[in-house]
């Protein structure tokens, strides 16, 4: 069924342009100054049309932790936040590390998701850093080319080297959560800094992230496999990635909205507790500059829902993680495009849609072009609203941004030509 967007401003390669856009379930059919077609018309007066956002780091929690989130509620939250494509992390129960488990898992994703979902498979069996999964078999059966042990780092260089060589042989990507637990004491919950020591909280040093990242980058430079680093938070990590790229390594890295917006001094309680933690002002500036320079490649969310009961405890005992699918675009648009005018809308969408789609090999996704998938988002860039966690479609309400005033409200999200959220 054809549908036509009229009276909107389209974010195209040449900039923001007033044009009409005709699409169906398969693709964008036409982008022209004036289109006349006998079909449903979407009046986008006062709205901006952008390509659907792509998030390569989402925790849907199902199977195993449906009290926190489900595939359905998590993908509803994605649609509410303007995300039409997401990648779900494999730290669920049972772990997606073999063919039989993945058959059930992918079937459930197909049945319950309202946006495009690409699952990761584990790097090692049960994320135990002992036995590398059969990447060749998994890729052949499901087309999965992305492997991660997110939530933990692959603990030994020998196992990571084997995983990287296997990935290289099968044209797959290693997507790594880098965390050397030798640097993290029991009960550590925030960045290791004077501001947090004064509050009586045990800190996590930056080397907990950067040391294992540096190990991985050296292996990647030697082996030549594709490698992506999750949720970078430390200036030392940005420096290491910049050096690896200068050496020609096939590496990329993501940064989250919360690490771009918040610092250690902002931490007030468990809803500000995430892993890696919010670090210093110098670290945050390095992340922003790293994204702008290309040391970092894209923005991802690390959407990590927990129940309110789980978060309603002490800092050392509360679980790590915050929800972010429904807030990241308006938060980043408000701070860096609307307020600071440091970035353009095109830059932000590039980091949140075009680059992740390209890096992860998704064809015809991440831009408004004829022939591309009809995954579209209509945004009101001028309307001011207030973030209300109780209005989230996610089961998780664990956010430090409740009550923040933002611009960039998502008005309609379209996946494969069909509206999956409208507000």
Which residues have a catalytic role annotated? 302
CA angle 238, 405, 8 (to 5 degrees): 90
Structure tokens at 324: 């972010």
**Residue-wise burial string across 78-93, b where 16 or more C-beta atoms lie within 10 A, e elsewhere:** bbbbbbbbbbbbbbbe
Backbone φ and ψ of 179, nearest 5°: -155, 110
Q: How many whole angstroms separate alpha carbon 403 and alpha carbon 399?
A: 10
Residue 81's alpha-carbon distances to 57, 88, 283, 371, in angstroms, are 14, 16, 27, 24
Residue 380's H or E segment, with its range, is strand 376-380
CA atoms within 13 A on the CB side of 210: 17
Q: How many whole angstroms separate alpha carbon 11 and alpha carbon 8?
A: 10
Among candidates 65, 61, 96, which has minimal Cα distance to 75? Answer: 61
DSSP result, 128-191: -SSSB--HHHHHHHH---EEE-TTS----HHHHHHHHHHHHHTT-EEEE----GGG--TT--EE
Q: How many whole angstroms separate alpha carbon 111 and alpha carbon 287?
A: 37
Residue 248's alpha-carbon distances to 80, 216, 243, 307, 344, in angstroms, are 38, 15, 9, 43, 28
Contact between 122 and 135 under an 8 Å Cβ cutoff? The reply is no
CA angle 150, 227, 56 (to 5 degrees): 50
Q: Which residues fall within 8 angstroms of residue 111, CB to CB, at 6 or more apart? A: none
């Amino acid at each position: 069924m054809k549908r036509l967007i009229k009276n909107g401003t389209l974010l195209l390669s040449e900039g923001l342009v007033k044009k009409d856009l005709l699409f169906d379930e398969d693709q964008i059919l036409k982008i022209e100054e004036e289109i006349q077609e006998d079909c449903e018309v979407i009046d986008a007066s006062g709205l901006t049309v952008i390509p659907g956002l792509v998030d390569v780091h989402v925790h849907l929690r199902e199977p195993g932790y449906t009290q926190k989130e489900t595939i359905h509620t998590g993908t509803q939250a994605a649609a509410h936040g303007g995300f039409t494509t997401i990648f779900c992390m494999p730290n669920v129960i049972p772990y997606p590390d073999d063919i039989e488990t993945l058959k059930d898992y992918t079937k459930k994703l197909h049945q319950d998701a309202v946006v495009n979902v690409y699952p990761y498979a584990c790097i090692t069996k049960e994320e135990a850093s002992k036995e590398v999964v059969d990447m060749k078999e998994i890729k052949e059966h499901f087309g999965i080319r992305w492997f991660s042990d997110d939530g933990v780092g692959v603990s030994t260089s020998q196992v990571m080297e084997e995983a990287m060589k296997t990935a290289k042989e099968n044209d797959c990507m290693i997507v790594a959560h880098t965390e050397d637990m030798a640097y993290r004491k029991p009960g550590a919950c925030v960045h290791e800094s004077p501001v947090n020591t004064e509050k009586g909280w045990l800190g996590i040093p930056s080397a907990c992230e950067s040391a294992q990242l540096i190990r991985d980058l050296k292996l990647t430079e030697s082996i030549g496999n594709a490698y992506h680093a999750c949720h970078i938070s430390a200036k030392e990590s940005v420096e290491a990635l910049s050096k690896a790229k200068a050496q020609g390594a096939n590496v990329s890295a993501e940064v989250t909205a919360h690490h771009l917006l918040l610092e250690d001094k902002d931490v007030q309680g468990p809803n500000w507790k995430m892993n890696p933690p919010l670090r210093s002002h110098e670290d945050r500036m390095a992340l922003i500059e790293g994204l702008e320079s290309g040391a970092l490649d894209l923005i991802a969310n690390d959407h990590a829902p927990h129940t309110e009961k789980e978060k309603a405890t002490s800092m050392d005992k509360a679980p790590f993680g915050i929800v972010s699918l429904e807030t990241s675009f308006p938060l980043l648009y408000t701070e860096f495009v609307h307020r600071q005018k440091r970035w353009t809308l095109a830059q932000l969408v590039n980091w949140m849609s075009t680059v992740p789609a390209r890096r992860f090999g998704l064809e015809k996704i991440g831009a408004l072009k004829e022939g591309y998938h009809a995954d579209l988002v209509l945004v009101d860039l001028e309307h001011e609203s207030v973030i209300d966690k109780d209005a989230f479609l996610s089961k998780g309400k664990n956010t430090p941004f409740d009550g923040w005033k933002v611009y960039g409200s998502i008005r309609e999200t379209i996946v494969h030509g069909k509206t999956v959220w409208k507000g």
